[in-house]
Amino acid sequence: MAKSISLALGANRATLSGPRSKQYRIRQNAKVFAKRLKEAGYGVRKWSKISNKHFSAVADKMKENGTGDGRIAEVFSAARHLCETYGNTGISPTNDVFDVRRGSIANANSKAVAPVFVQGAIDKLANEVKYEYGPRAAAQIRLQYELGLRREEAAKVDLISDWDRESRSLHVQYGTKGGRPRTLYNLSWQQQEALEKALPYVSQSDRPGIHNLMPSGMGDKWQEKLSHAARLCGFTKKESGWTLHSNRHERFHRMYVDHTGFQPPNQHESVEGFQQAAQNAAGGEWSRLDAEARDDIEVTAGHSSGRRDVSDAYLGCSH
């Protein structure tokens, strides 16, 4: 295999096996690793030269940016795959040595954004006259907040083909994690309204017959425009303590409270405090309600029910 002249180019040129969707995911996550490593001040240009020291640096940089252990583990899996592809077998097979523990309580403290802040950010962007993409960004942020979509899903959702007003459902199939489609059912009037307000910004995508919220011809560069919009309204970790992903956290927080009638664990100082509050609110039914809410949230998030590492990341651990 030819030697790569940069980590990103090496990710593109690597010979990978398996489904094309999996190969694409590995390449994209490997390039995230390369970008974070460069931000950490390292100029390594070959995957064969990557060491555990570099993995530790990337872990520190991603945690500094507020990234959870689950996402870091996903990026590390891809980077480890690229290292092995280029004959580098010296990387630790586990992430514990990098202080990355996927499956632990990834979110003991709530990252859910305050609803009043979201509304203020949406209003500011919707009326932004100095940034042409402000109103379009506001529509996408509203979708993230009301439906719990990831930012790429909100940008690529096809409202023309995949939103069924009569059945109040939305099929989410583009920009999903791992290429896994899902359908959101029983949409509330607030969710339907958010979709309705996004319709004026629907554009023909680069793929025939598919329409989304990215300006025509712009493609994934739209994410840079969205990030700029977030900075304009203070929707950043540095400015407000929240990121656009915090919209997803708040959506699942609301789903949990609506179903159970009590606050999730990460709204309490301890697991014991949560259990006592849940017991006071729902008696002996609290555990059943907790499990039902988690199953629903895990599926809505694009995973399988029973993925408690997923719901723990958004709600905290119940036990």
| 120 and 224 Cβ atoms separated by less than 8 Å | no
Whether residues 175 and 205 share a domain: the answer is yes
Q: In this predicted structure, what is the pLDDT of residue 102?
A: 58
Give CA–CA dist 32/26, Å, rounded.
10
| Listed residues 244, 268, 302: the one ending a domain | 244
Do 120 and 94 lie in one domain? The reply is no
pLDDT score for 103: 47
pLDDT band of residue 108 (cuts 50, 70, 90) is: low
Is 1's pLDDT higher than 60? no
Are both 178 and 159 inside the same structural domain? yes
The residue from 192, 215, 244 where one domain ends is: 244
216 and 124 within one domain: yes
Same structural domain for residues 63 and 158? no
Percent of the chain's residues with pLDDT above 90: 71
The count of structural domains within the chain is 3
Domain match, 80 and 24 both: yes
The domain in which residue 132 lies consists of 115-244
> Does the residue 107 lie in any domain?
no
Residue 58 has pLDDT above 90, yes or no: yes
Question: Do 150 and 170 reside in the same domain of the chain?
Answer: yes
- Give this prediction's pTM: 0.69
Residue 44, in any domain of the structure: yes
Task: Note whether residue 225 is domain-resident.
Answer: yes
**Please, which residues have CB within 8 angstroms of residue 212's CB and are 6 or more apart in sequence?**
155, 156, 157, 158, 159, 174, 202, 203, 205
Helices (H), the chain: 7-13, 20-39, 52-64, 69-85, 115-126, 134-147, 151-156, 159-162, 189-198, 222-232, 246-260, 271-282, 286-300, 308-315
pLDDT digit string, tens, across residues 46-55 = 999 999 999 9
Q: Which helix (H) or strand (E) holds 203?
A: strand 203-204
Token pair, residue 261, equals 């009638």
Which among 58, 63, 102 is positioned nearest to 80, based on CA atoms?
58
Percent of the chain with pLDDT over 70: 96
Query: Are 43 and 131 part of one and the same domain?
Result: no
- Residue 3 binned pLDDT confidence (cut-offs 50, 70, 90): very low
In a domain, 104, yes or no: no
In a shared domain, residues 152 and 44: no
**Per residue in 180-199, pLDDT tens?**
899 999 999 999 999 999 99
User: Which candidate, 293, 246, 265, places its Cα nearest to that of 114?
Assistant: 246
To the nearest 10 degrees (0 to 180), the angle between helices 286-300 and 246-260 is: 140
Asked if residue 109 belongs to a domain, the reply is: no
Is there a single domain that holds both residue 89 and residue 133? Answer: no
Q: Classify residue 2: in a domain, yes or no.
A: no
Question: Are residues 136 and 221 located together in one domain of the fold?
Answer: yes
User: Cβ distance 131 to 228 under 8 Å?
Assistant: yes
Q: In whole numbers, what is the pLDDT of the chain averaged over residues?
A: 90
Mean pLDDT to the nearest integer, 277-289: 96
- From 199, 229, 244, the end of a domain falls on 244
Does residue 74 surpass a pLDDT of 80?
yes
CB-based contacts of 283, cutoff 8 Å, min separation 6? none
Q: 4 pLDDT band (50/70/90 cuts)?
A: very low
Give me the pLDDT at residue 104, please: 43
Q: For the CA atoms of the chain, what is the radius of gyration? A: 21
Q: Is the per-residue pLDDT at 25 higher than 50?
A: yes
Structure confidence at residue 107 (pLDDT): 47
Same domain? For 152 and 238 the reply is: yes
* 170: in domain: yes
Q: 263 lies in a domain?
A: yes
